Amino acid sequence: MKNSYQAIQASALGKLELVVRTVPTPNKDEVLIAVEACGICGADAMTIENPNPDSFPRIPGHEVVGRIVAIGNPDSNYWKIGQRVGVGRLGGHCNLCDECRQGLFNLCNNQPIMGSTHDGGYAEMMMAKQTGLVSIPDELSSVEAAPLLCAGIATFNALKKSGAQAGDTVAIFGIGGLGHLAIQYARRMGFRVVAIGRGQDIAELTHDLGAHIYIDTQLENAVDRLKELGKAQVILSTITNGEISSALFAGLIPQGKLIVVGVGKEPLVISSPLLVGGERTVQGSITGTPYEVEKTLNFSLLTDVRAMIETYPLEQAHEAYTKVRTGKVEFRAVLTTSHFAH
């Protein structure tokens, strides 16, 4: 193994540069991963475009798949050298805090946030905590698996925990990197799927992905259309605009649920009569534990759910990130390194 590796680091606000770093040695609770693929997520902007100069330098990336090349604990009986693993945004729970003691590992506040508080996967090598590792099925390529470690688990878990049952109407708001996966999962879970987006250019695509009905917000009022359809049991909002997401709340049936996975700066403004009078709820959903990510990967394999992906070599990270930020990528971008076997 070489003693240095290449990485793309955010070195200043909006600036990504190729650097060479020394290969580190993992601590007893860590492994060293030779990265094969790393997805680019809209949330990477929180690192790359962070106005706080103290946050730099940092290697972004939290949809990471690669192979273990070194283990800090030589007595590990689960993780092995050469094993293909993944790491999502949540970098590994601490097993000590109140949340961990309750089994709420994805809510652990002491874990690293990959690509944000801990160097991520825009690199040939990455260190990771063993409690954050996900086993990758052989049937999924590293490129296929990468987006499922964030966009996949975020939408799959939100739908799985929504309380909706087969036959219920579930609306997916936003047809992008998250939404195009959410439509597929919702259809495979047996829901009547309503996709809500902008423009007729994606109407056919939403049906191809599995939507039964497409609502084009440029042509019709989404809430009025949902009311015509009998309203939705669940509305899953994948966009970051709180004001627009809030407006859809009126499209829920009594005891319906608005689930938010798109994180933005605008607050949600919910009508209290609609909230109280119909016993409707608003819920946030944050990715999941490594075990839940493995459930997502297995379900994706069983039901043939895949992200639509554009691949780029690591050296083109800036170009790929720019396409993601401007909405010109369909629908996920994945960086590959020299370790990736095509």
| 236-288: pLDDT as tens digits | 999 878 788 888 999 999 999 999 998 877 888 888 999 899 999 999 999 99
Q: What is the pLDDT of residue 1?
A: 74
Q: What is the pLDDT of residue 74?
A: 76
Above 80 in pLDDT, residue 322? yes
Q: Which domains does the chain have, with CATH numbers?
A: 4-149+308-336 (3.90.180.10), 153-284 (3.40.50.720)
Q: What is the pLDDT of residue 245?
A: 85
- pLDDT, one tens digit per residue, over 3-33 is 999 999 999 999 999 999 999 999 999 999 9
- pLDDT, one tens digit per residue, over 110-159 is 999 999 999 999 999 999 999 999 999 999 999 999 999 999 999 999 99
Q: What is the pLDDT of residue 342?
A: 58
Please say whether the beta carbons of 238 and 179 come within 8 A. yes
Query: What's the mean per-residue pLDDT of the chain?
Result: 94
Please tell me the least confidently modeled range out of 252-256, 299-303, 325-329, 333-337: 325-329
Neighbours of 130 (CB within 10 A): 20
Q: What is the pLDDT of residue 246?
A: 87
User: 8 Cβ partners below 8 Å, 6+ apart?
Assistant: 16, 17, 18, 19, 59, 60, 122, 123, 314, 315, 317, 318, 335
